[in-house]
Chain A
Amino acid sequence: MANMPVSEMRLPPHLAHLLAARRLDTAKDVLSLPEVELMAILDAGLPTARAAVALVSEAACPPYQTALALLEERVRLGGGVRLATTLCGLDEALGGGIPMGKLTEVVGPSGIGKTQFCLKLALLAALPEYYGGLDGRVVYIDTEFKFSSRRMIEIGQKSFPQIFRQEGLAQKMAGRILVTRPTSLADFTKSLEEMKVTLLQHDVKLLIVDSMAALMSLENEKATAGFRQHPLRWTLSFLKSIAEFSRVPVVVTNQVRSQSNDDGYHFSFEVDKKDGNKCAERFDSHLVAALGIQWAHAVTVRLVFESHSGHRFIKVAKSPMSPAVAFPFIVESSGITLLSDESIDVTGPGITSIHCQGQNVLAR
């Protein structure tokens, strides 16, 4: 809509000519200018500039829907609109499973089980519907060379033994999972662009990026601080739009790093908290800023994988449908299993911090 050509807007001829003469060819061209500057460029009076802005805005504005129509559309397009993880407690907390058309982040320290979780999700999306799957293809972007087909099939065989005993099913399932291994951000960007077409043409039902941080850190090493923000923002925006556009769940994994002194934690009106006397205080940081705070704002669901008190937990740290709760889990041959479907409530600082064997760390 931003690039909608002025020529297609059916403006009154005198306005259309005026804009064309000044090379204001798209909605973006016209609307990016403050009124006064538009007047100057068009060499016209205020009423003319205002009329142009009003008409172009009306043409470029996306149509509205009532929230009810939105709900009805969701229901019509496929009831559940979730990818069930088969971890009952987690699915219940998430309102059925991983949401479609939104960005879900899986973050945690290395070795905790993020890739195991992704492998299981990939399998679930590939399984036929009568086995509870989405019967579709999966695109798995593997930036750390962690994807193991052998392991994924093992998970399949152990979790769904009856299904996988069938002739050729393992091969069929594996065949539905497309793994790409970009080695640089440029590569990754290129795959994403090609992705848009693939997603629609090939009935892709899940997109996994494992892991996002690896790509970003590659770029950090060579780039300056200023540049760091750009590829991230663009990627973020693009992933979200792919998700919404194709109504596919997008799962992104992320790494953690230990805290540095540069992290700001508080607002200016929160006095007396700036002194780092107690290390514990610093961890009630709201900067679960994986890849920066913008990332944390942009994901719809955040699942934090962490370990403390000798156990591993999956914590639902951000979700529109649920308060913060955690579930203990283990990793077995059949993949991730919850030790209990009863959720443990998480409050306050615990929601935003990430525990790693007793030390609190921040997402990168």
Chain B
Amino acid sequence: MGEQSGAQNAWDMLSDEQSQKHITTGSGDLNDILGGGIHCKEVTEIGGVPGVGKTQLGIQLAINVQIPVEYGGLGGKAVYIDTEGSFMVERVYQIAEGCIRDILEHFPHSHEKSSSGQKQLQPEHFLADIYYFRICSYTEQIAVINYLEKFLGEHKDVRIVVIDNVTFHFRQDFEDLALRTRVLSGLSLKLMKIAKTYNLAVVLLNQVTTKFTEGSFQLTLALGDSWSHSCTNRLILYWNGNERYAHLDKSPSLPVASAPYAVTGKGIRDAVSSHHKRARVT
């Protein structure tokens, strides 16, 4: 595909869209409502209440993006930007192990292959391909997003950037709210540009807050007004009775829909009640 500086016609875009790969979430039901998984070249916001599994999903995607091409994955690397210290490396190891176990279960002869360039199916190798940034202020967050343009140029195999979570520092340290909105808009444009330029998925995890609308308090995603227009897709994780659910709230091409999922020892998988017979790798 050549570089195009001008506009693209819709027909070419269609073939682009169709050849686009998706990053599996680990849950078949979730992948279905997302049209296959998390899309590259797009920004997806994932919000939810504390403890519902945002970081778990963020980590799962940082692992799943690495599933080798021969097993139906993207064979890419991940950038994980941690703003709150939620990243627990022992859990990342567990999730990597879970992913590998599922791959081996679906491709039983894989350990016999010895093609060169194949990523070794060891959790350590998956951990080695996650670039982790720990940032402690909104200044650092702006700095890292700006720096990504250079970093990604030097690391072209990165196919996902996860920011966990995107609003934390902006909610507390920014005095001038009008300025904050302008700065956030600038950042969100940068992120969209990065997603398109480097053909990767940008995933922004977000907190939940309460808002008084229509006569009552409702849950809504933080900094919604400054931010809501800039994400291409929005997924909201919530509790529905005893189960965890994901609700696709915004998408340019898919209908609004909800699906159950589970957080297991191996990571994100289909809920027990799912009609998907077994855990899917791709």
Contact = CB atoms under 8 A, between A and B. Distances in A.
Contacts of A34: 179, 182-183, 185-186
B220 interface: yes
A101 to B, nearest CB: 8
Nearest to B214: A268
A129 to B, nearest CB: 22
Contacts of B84: 240, 297-298
Interface residues of A, number: 70
A325 interface: no
Interface stretch (A39-47, A53-61, A332-340): A53-61
A198 interface: no
Interface string A93-111: 0010001011000000000
Interface in B15-33: none
A270 B134 CA distance: 35
A306 B211 CA distance: 29
In this complex, which of A31, A74, A323 has the most chain B Cβ atoms within 10 angstroms of its Cβ? A31
Interface stretch (B37-45, B67-75, B107-115, B236-244): B236-244
Nearest to A240: B85
Contacts of A71: 89-90, 92-93, 127
Nearest to B54: A297
A66 B55 contact: no
Given A1-B136, A54-B146, A267 B236 contact: yes
Contacts of A321: 88, 90-91, 94
B85 A264 contact: no
B69 to A, nearest CB: 21
Interface in B39-62: 49-52, 55-56
A358 to B, nearest CB: 20
A62 B134 contact: yes
Given A296-B51, A297-B50, A323-B263, A68 B147 contact: no
Contacts of A259: none
Interface stretch (A132-140, A157-165, A210-218, A344-352): A344-352
A31 B90 contact: no
A67 B130 contact: yes
A59 to B, nearest CB: 8
B143 A320 contact: no
Contact of A66 (B128, B211, B243): B128
Interface string A238-259: 0011011000000000000000
B247 interface: yes
Contacts of B55: 320
A272 to B, nearest CB: 12
B219 A267 contact: yes
B51 A317 contact: yes
Interface stretch (A83-91, A166-174, A286-294): A286-294
Interface in B76-125: 79-80, 84-94, 124
B157 interface: no
B139 A28 contact: yes
B143 A349 contact: no
A183 interface: no
A237 B172 contact: yes
A294 to B, nearest CB: 7
A181 B266 CA distance: 44
Contacts of A130: none
Interface stretch (B3-11, B192-200, B202-210, B273-281): B202-210
Nearest to B94: A321
A65 interface: yes
A241 B140 CA distance: 14
Contacts of B172: 233-234, 236-237
22 contacts: A2-B139, A31-B139, A34-B182, A34-B185, A54-B150, A57-B145, A58-B146, A60-B140, A61-B140, A66-B131, A70-B127, A71-B90, A71-B92, A264-B211, A270-B240, A284-B239, A286-B51, A287-B210, A293-B49, A296-B50, A321-B90, A352-B49
Nearest 6 A/B pairs, CB to CB: A264-B217, A348-B242, A286-B49, A57-B146, A2-B139, A296-B50
Given A57-B147, A264-B212, A352-B51, 7 more contacts: A66-B128, A68-B127, A71-B89, A233-B171, A267-B247, A286-B52, A293-B210
Interface of A: 1-2, 27-28, 31-35, 37, 53-54, 56-62, 64-68, 70-71, 74, 95, 99, 101-102, 233-234, 236-237, 240-241, 243-244, 262-270, 274, 284, 286-288, 293-294, 296-298, 300, 302, 317-318, 320-321, 323, 347-349, 351-352
